Amino acid sequence: MAALAATGLAEIVAVAEPDDAGAAQALALAPAARRVDGLDALLREDIDAVVIATPSAAHAEQSIRALEAGKAVFCQKPLGRTGPEVAEVVEAARRADRLLGVDLSYRHTAAMGAIRPLLEGRALGHVFGVDVTFHNAWGPDKPWFYDPALSGGGCVVDLGVHLIDLALWSLGWPEVTGVESRLYAKGAPLADPARQVEDYAVATLDLAGGTVVRLACSWGLQAGREAVIAAEFFGTQGGASLRNVNGSFYDLRAERHHHIRAEPLSEPPDDWGGRAAVDWLARLASGARFDPDARHLETVARVIDRIYGR
């Protein structure tokens, strides 16, 4: 919200926040805004767009209601708990011809901004392997994350969504031809996904053209640091990596690899936290409406479904 307010591209008109402390923080960022009671009240305001940052179970339904009311939507990830839920939101955006954005923020880091042109220009040759990793040594602090009915799953839908999106987006959205996965909860194979969520997952994605993606993510891992975040690309003519620095959730470094030599591409600091929302707002302010690339939100959600075996 601070990032959106700082752009000067939009007026923050109203805030629907049930928590008093959260509402006070929001209104401190936007003193001219009004606090209203829920989404219905928000949609009655004279507004162009809605930012949705509620628990995951509400994302799809609230996004569809806002889109059907003629509002553009920026939603926290995941857009829905399942592929069909996400598909319904994307179709609602298409019908309403409204811009739909999701907070897939790692696309907008300076580190990925340095790596993606190498991939697009085939500077690394044929990229045959991609390793993507997100280990969060803490895990979520809100109970609903651990209820599969409310969250849609555990670390895969929470963290893996970033990794799958980053890998496929970076490579130009190749078809995913095969998925294998193993899910764990508290150190044992996930026994009942209707009653518990995974806190450790590994998956292999086979892509058209022969590339393989190896994914690993977790909550509460004994990682020796707060977080392990990486996207590593291995090509016939070189490699590239995004990695977090000293266990930071925010400081990311990009390098290009020439066999055993690493060439720096991007170093922290990089204030990237609000860039996905700002990108959406800038496009909205320039008159953008439905973007057909939103269909890839469904692509990612369908891969997540395959990892879960549903």
CATH for 217:
3.30.360.10
Q: Determine contact, residues 235/226, Cβ cutoff 8 Å.
A: no
Do the domain assignments include residue 236?
Answer: yes
Do the domain assignments include residue 300?
Answer: no
- Reference 190, options 106, 89, 310, 107; nearest CA is 310
As a whole number of angstroms, the distance between CA 272 and CA 287 comes to 24
Do the domain assignments include residue 310?
Answer: no
Q: Determine contact, residues 65/43, Cβ cutoff 8 Å.
A: yes
Could you tell me if 280 and 267 lie in one domain? no
Q: Determine contact, residues 296/169, Cβ cutoff 8 Å.
A: yes
> Within 10 Å of residue 40's Cβ, how many Cβ atoms?
11
- Reference 280, options 99, 9, 65; nearest CA is 99
Do the domain assignments include residue 296?
Answer: no
pTM equals 0.96
As a whole number of angstroms, the distance between CA 228 and CA 63 comes to 31
Do the domain assignments include residue 84?
Answer: yes
CATH number (domain holding residue 81): 3.40.50.720
Could you tell me if 279 and 245 lie in one domain? no
Could you tell me if 77 and 195 lie in one domain? no
pLDDT of res. 29: 92
pLDDT of res. 205: 98
Could you tell me if 110 and 223 lie in one domain? yes
Could you tell me if 116 and 255 lie in one domain? yes
Could you tell me if 96 and 144 lie in one domain? no
Rounded to 5°, angle at Cα 122 from 171 and 212? 40
pLDDT of res. 236: 98
Could you tell me if 115 and 190 lie in one domain? yes
Could you tell me if 65 and 162 lie in one domain? no
pLDDT of res. 81: 97
Residues spanned by the domain of 13: 1-103+275-290
Could you tell me if 224 and 119 lie in one domain? yes
Q: How many domains does the chain have?
A: 2
Do the domain assignments include residue 16?
Answer: yes
Longest CA pairwise span in the chain (Å):
59
Could you tell me if 220 and 282 lie in one domain? no
Could you tell me if 115 and 181 lie in one domain? yes
pLDDT of res. 100: 98
Give the chain's residues under pLDDT 70.
Answer: none
What are the Cα distances from residue 101, in Å, to 12, 71, 241, 272? 17, 12, 26, 16
Could you tell me if 208 and 64 lie in one domain? no
